[in-house]
Structure formats: structure tokens, C-alpha cells
Amino acid sequence: MTSNLAIFTLAAFFEIAGCFAFWFWARRGGGLAVVCVGVASLIAFAFALTRVDSAFAGRAYAAYGGIYIVASLIWLWAVERQAPTRADLVGAALALVGAVIIIAFARSR
């Protein structure tokens, strides 16, 4: 379970960075280099998810969703300098609990 969490965390970083690159390009006029970074990051994200120890892709993606939500709020705080709200934190905690349940019970079958 620990290695899956590490892979999910890495995948979340790549996905958020890739999506942010495109957001930055479209909304703030980033150049071609920003698009290239976005594409490379999204490719790395997709590859990272293939490294998760799961017999089924859908289950891996479902568990990843909780990690992604938490990572998105960390990005919000660290990169965009916006503090998450109490509702953000409660929602992320619930999503993270769900992700851990999916990961833990998938391993026990």
C-alpha cells in the first residue's frame, strides 16, 4: 500500500503540473515551452499510473482520485498561494479516507 501511495502522489504531481501548464498557457499567455512541459508532464502522469499494483485500472483510478484531491489542495496552497477553506479540507479528508479504503481492501482480496 505504501508504494501505491507514493506512485499516486507522483502521478498527482505530474497531472496537476501538466494541467496547470495548459491552464497557464490558455489564461495567461504562456508560450510553446509551457505547452511542451504540460504534454511531457501528462505523459509522465499516465505512465506513473501504470506502475500502481492493481489488477484493475478502474480501481486504481478510483483510489487515485482521493490522492489527487489532496494533492490539488497542496498545489493550491504551495504554488497558487491560496489557503484551502475548511470545506476543502473536510472534503479532501473524506476523499482520502475513501482512497485508503479502496487501496486497503483491494489488497486483501
What are the structural domain ranges in the chain? 2-108
> Nearest-CA neighbor of 82 among 90, 71, 93, 74?
74
pLDDT, tens only, 18-36 = 999 999 999 988 899 999 9
Predicted local distance difference test score (pLDDT) of residue 72: 93
Predicted local distance difference test score (pLDDT) of residue 71: 92
All residues at 6 or more sequence positions from 52 whose CB lies less than 8 Å from its CB, including other chains: 4, 7, 8, 11, 60, 63, 64
pLDDT, tens only, 37-78 = 999 999 999 999 999 888 888 888 888 888 899 999 999 999
Predicted local distance difference test score (pLDDT) of residue 107: 60
Q: How confident is the model at residue 3 (pLDDT cuts 50, 70, 90)?
A: confident
From CA 65, how far away is CA 62, in angstroms rounded?
5
pTM value? 0.80
| Burial label, 47 (beta-carbon count in 10 A; 0-12, 13-18, 19+) | exposed
Predicted local distance difference test score (pLDDT) of residue 1: 60
Predicted local distance difference test score (pLDDT) of residue 47: 94
